Amino acid sequence: MNTTRRGSSGPDVLALQKALLAHGFNPGAADGDFGGGTEAALIAFQMSEGLLADGIAGPRSQTALGLSDDPALPDALQFVTVQVASAMFPLTPLGPIKANLPPVLWALDARELRDRSMALMALSTIRAETESFQPVAEGPSRFNTSPAGPPFDLYDNRRDLGNQGAPDGARYRGRGFVQLTGRFNYRQYGPRLSDPADLETNPDLAADPKVAAELLALFLGDRELQIKDALMHGNLMAARRLVNGGSHGLDRFSDAYARGDALLPRQI
């Protein structure tokens, strides 16, 4: 079944309308024309099922409605080449991009984050966090270090990060492509890696390129629905905040997203 949306018409829309009605979401007349009633019913169904409420009958919505047995979204990763990444990172040498793009794409593919929006989100996040396209460790700043205090002392007692006092601030400072921060996150994400690791005991592993790529994919995957909702509404700041908690790097994030958006084929 083809992807359908408002303005579509034909047998696929008729099948969609009948499926919505069968699931208790009345689209109005089952006439094969995708209008406002069908869109509203589909959005209500999507919200009920915890799907992205975009009013578009794509693979995941069709599968949930019993119209398809393949929920896979179109694969945009095949179009994320070194050339595309280089255009999104205009100040970055090619060497780190060539070295680190493959593990990033592998990690996104392994976590089934293959669609256009998540590919753009991943690369834009890397640009915001580490324009070098290399995993990095967080440096001291006024946000993590008190005046004249030891580095990262403002993290030491952050209970929201699971830290238990010095030297947890420095030990569990941000690392990687997504700046994994805090004892709790190191403990939580290590066992979820394809090759599980004790990051709580060995936090420096989070800066290994393959591990950093997987952590990026896991972190984004945990927030996929919220990120896509923000991007659907054109709210790049909200998408950025879901990863960073603030607006740090928003200028680089937005620039990378705009560059990639202009280069990747528009797929649904």
- C-alpha gyration radius of the chain: 21
* pLDDT in the model for residue 268: 52
Pick from 10, 15, 29: nearest CA to 66 = 15
Rounded to 5 degrees, φ, ψ at 69 are -115, 15
Peptide bond between residue 191 and the one before it cis (omega within 30 degrees of 0): no
Q: Which of 89, 81, 47, 79 has its CA nearest to residue 64?
A: 47
What Cα–Cα distance (Å) separates residue 268 from each residue in 53, 58, 154, 159?
Answer: 14, 7, 44, 41
64 residue type, one letter: A
DSSP state of 24: T
- Helix residue spans in 65-191 (DSSP H): 82-88, 94-110, 116-129, 168-171, 183-189
Tokens of 13: 């829309």
- Would you state the pLDDT for residue 151? 97
Question: Residue 237, Cα to own-chain centre: how many angstroms?
Answer: 14
Nearest alpha-carbon partner for 180 in 124, 228, 135, 128: 135
| DSSP bridge partners of 180 | 175
* CA dist., res. 215 & res. 235, Å (int): 24
Q: Which CATH architecture has domain 137-207?
A: 2-Layer Sandwich (3.30)
Q: Residue 27 corresponds to which amino acid? A: P
CATH topology of domain 11-64: Muramoyl-pentapeptide Carboxypeptidase; domain 1 (1.10.101)
Distance, in Å, from the CA atom of 226 to the CA atom of 28, rounded to the nearest integer, reads 29
Q: Locate the domains of the chain by residue range.
A: 11-64, 77-135+215-263, 137-207
Length in residues, the chain: 268
Burial of 159 (0-12, 13-18, 19+ CB in 10 A): exposed
Tokens of 144: 């993590």
User: Could you check whether 11-64 and 137-207 share the same CATH topology?
Assistant: no
pLDDT tens, residue by residue, 61-100:
999 999 999 998 899 999 999 999 999 999 999 999 999 9
How many Å is the maximal CA-CA distance in the chain? 71
| Two structure tokens written together for 225 | 């629905």
Comparing CA positions, the residue from 240, 242, 267 lying closest to residue 255 is 240
Smallest Cα–Cα separation from 13: which of 43, 46, 35? 35
The residues that bridge with 33 in the sheet, in sequence order, are 9
For 258, list phi and psi in degrees, rounded to 5: -65, -40
Q: Which residues of the chain have pLDDT under 70?
A: 267-268
What one-letter code names the amino acid at 158? R
